[in-house]
């Protein structure tokens, strides 16, 4: 059974989806710790309710990103997880950290990368009247939202979509596709080799897993 650590900053809805899929044995892994940079993150309550150890590293206590990441690296080294999952972790990680754990950190981003890296993705979709929107899962690299793509989940936008409605629909996609990809990684069916994503015993007509959802 793989050991995973989940990093959060907020409500932890993706964390909850991962917890439920681990409990259901869909994901063959144990969440050994939840780490948050925000002491008030609701996701910490979700972890406590599931009897999962949690650690708070308040970024306000550190003078720089480098000092923060040094502390995070020490904690991750002590935990020694097989997989580190960013689930709404609102910190830009330093190259020191991303290079140390290359191929072991994944992130989910609310856009169809390379479109709309960074923040305010839903607003940009509505502003540009895009016909589709979605999420991307990627291995984390030193460049923000630019690591090797693993999977994407797409939905069609609707005329009545506002920010709130679009966010709700994207969250539903995240809660479906993230556990699926975590499952495959924990089964060694997805891995990174020479900075290229490799798939084993997974049928896909694309160079990445690309799912379309009617949500």
- Rounded-to-integer distance, Cα 105 and Cα 85, Å: 6
The residues annotated as belonging to the active site are: 109
Contact 136, 109 (CB under 8 A): yes
Contact 12, 46 (CB under 8 A): yes
- Rounded-to-integer distance, Cα 105 and Cα 83, Å: 6
For the beta sheet containing 209-212, the strands, ordered from the edge strand earlier in sequence to the opposite edge, are 54-56, 29-36, 2-8, 83-86, 105-109, 132-139, 149-156, 209-212
3-class state of residue 129 by DSSP: coil
- Give the 3-state DSSP-derived string for 137-196, with helices as H, strands as E and coil as C: EEECCCCCCCCCEEEEEEEECCCCCCHHHHHHHHHHHHHHHHHHHHHHHHCCCEEEECCE
- Rounded-to-integer distance, Cα 76 and Cα 158, Å: 42
Give CA separation, 94 vs 67, 124, 144, 154, in Å.
10, 26, 10, 29
């Amino acid at each position: 059974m793989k050991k995973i650590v989940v990093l959060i900053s907020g409500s932890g809805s993706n964390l909850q989806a991962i917890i439920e899929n681990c409990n259901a044995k869909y994901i063959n892994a144990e969440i050994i710790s939840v780490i948050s940079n925000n002491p008030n993150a609701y996701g910490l309550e979700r972890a406590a309710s599931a009897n999962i150890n949690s650690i708070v590293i308040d970024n306000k206590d550190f003078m720089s990103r480098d000092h923060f990441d040094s502390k995070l690296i020490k904690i991750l080294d002590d935990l020694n997880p097989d997989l580190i999952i960013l689930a709404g972790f609102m910190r830009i990680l330093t190259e020191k950290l991303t290079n140390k754990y290359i191929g072991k950190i994944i992130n989910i981003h609310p856009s169809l990368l390379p479109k709309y890296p960074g923040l305010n993705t839903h607003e940009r979709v509505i502003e540009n009247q895009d016909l589709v929107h979605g999420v991307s899962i990627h291995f984390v690299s030193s460049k923000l939202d630019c690591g090797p793509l693993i999977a994407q989940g797409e939905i069609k936008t609707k005329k009545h979509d506002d920010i709130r409605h679009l966010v709700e629909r994207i969250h539903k996609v995240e809660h479906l596709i993230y556990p699926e990809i975590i499952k495959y990684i924990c089964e060694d069916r997805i891995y990174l080799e020479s900075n290229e994503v490799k798939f084993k015993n997974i049928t896909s007509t694309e160079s990445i897993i690309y799912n379309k959802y009617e949500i």
